[in-house]
Amino acid sequence: MSPEIETFFRRCPNCGRRFEIQLTGKKLIDSRNISESRPVNSDYFGGYAGSFLEVGETEPSIIAVDEFQYAYRCKHCGHQWVEIREEEYKEK
């Protein structure tokens, strides 16, 4: 979901109005990569529902994490504030 659509459903922390919030800025404040190993394949190991036994090789996976600062302004009361959120995506 894009930040513009998410903004539409937010409430102003000052006056509580919805549908009056305007995204005024988005700034990247941090970017980092996280490396982890994931199994290439998993086989079902009977007995309990949802039980898996990881068999086989693992492949390294890199997940990029970007931290953004979003600036908002309420069109009704003029209140301004910022929120910090992380966005994760798998690098290829």
Stated pTM of the model: 0.61
Give yes or no for a contact between 90 and 63, defined as CB atoms under 8 angstroms apart.
Answer: yes
pLDDT at 6: 63
With 0-12 / 13-18 / 19 or more C-beta atoms within 10 angstroms meaning exposed / middle / buried, residue 8 is middle
Predicted confidence band at 84 (pLDDT cuts at 50, 70, 90)?
very high
- 82/14 Cα distance (integer angstroms): 13
